[in-house]
Amino acid sequence: MQRSCVQPIGRGANVQMSRMTQSLRLAAPPASVYSSPMSRRQLRFAVLLGSLVMVALATCLFSGCHSAHGESVSSRPLIVLDAGHGGRDPGAVCNGVHEADINLAMLKSVFELLAADERLAVRATRTLDIYITLADRIAVANDAEAALYLSIQSNACEYPDVTGIETLVSDTLSESAPSWQFAEILQDAVTNATGARDRGVRAQDLYLHRAAMPAALIEVGFLTNDEERTKLLDPAYHQTIARAIYGGIVAYLNYADPSFAER
């Protein structure tokens, strides 16, 4: 069967990270209701104030600024998850499957596991199919002083027999850097859990070099391979990968901070 696999942007350029944005619209009231200049000024002020409150609430709800456990996130490591691509950038497209959709579904599974752990705080760069710049994705983690940054993506290749999982780090780092350690622990956890081909940890020219914390990008499989694409569409396989990613994150935190294991 002939496949249609398109990857419009080079792999180094398409590693996307950013801050989730949301637009809020308020309908203007009929002009006849508010006739005096003072009333209109008051109305504009009220609308502005209401909009700011709504944006703040939406940011908390979707970015995880509070946890379900009622504890301040400042006392717990914050993990920022990114689903690569989105919106006008679907990533690799194979047999009608958009990489951006796979990435987002995987992120949501990992997010739920992290959010259920009372020792951790978690945010997502996006929870919708929207386009976000690389700079904005990294800014979410840097601005929040996150402990870890992880971008979840799916791979593609011109050769359909290529398979496996790999984890990428910025090529500006030495192999002794915390990002390498995080990536190696994560790679071992996911390949051991899935039995997928271990393609190892690789350095690449990525926007991750702008992250102020350990940062990695995991490619969870090749959409251009029929078998792996089928697996990546299977909710059970999603959960296997998600649990392994969660386990890898916790394992790294235990390694980097021995006191975390005592919590």
Q: Is residue 47 part of a domain?
A: no
Query: Position 90: which residue type?
Result: P
* Residue 155 · residue 92 · CB < 8 Å: yes
Cβ(76)–Cβ(120) below 8 Å: yes
Site of tokens 């959709």: 101
Instruction: Output the pLDDT for position 70.
Output: 40
Q: Is 108 exposed, middle or buried (0-12, 13-18, 19+ CB in 10 A)?
A: middle
pLDDT of residue 75: 80
In a domain, 35, yes or no: no
pLDDT of residue 263: 84
With respect to residue 86, please indicate whether it lies within any of the assigned structural domains.
yes
Which amino acid is present at 252?
Y
Place of tokens 């990525």: 206
Residue 246: inside a domain, yes or no? yes
| 257 within some domain | yes
Q: Confirm whether 207 is domain-assigned.
A: yes
- Kindly report the CA angle at 12 between 149 and 231, in degrees rounded to 5? 70
Query: Count of domains in the chain?
Result: 1
Q: Render pLDDT for 210-219 as a digit per residue (tens, 0 to 9).
A: 999 999 999 9
At 74 the pLDDT is 53
> pTM for the whole thing?
0.74
Torsion on CA atoms 105, 82, 182, 92, rounded to nearest 10: 70
Residues of the chain predicted below pLDDT 70: 1-74
* Structural domain boundaries, residue 220: 5-22+54-262
The DSSP letter of residue 171 is: T
33 within domain boundaries: no
Q: Can you tell me whether residue 83 is helix, strand or coil?
A: strand
> Which is nearest to 66 in space by CA: 122, 4, 116, 21?
122
For the chain, report the end-to-end CA distance as a whole number of angstroms.
Answer: 53
Indicate whether 176 belongs to any domain: yes
User: pLDDT tens-digit profile of 84-109?
Assistant: 999 999 999 999 999 999 999 999 99
Which CATH number covers residue 194?
A: 3.40.630.40
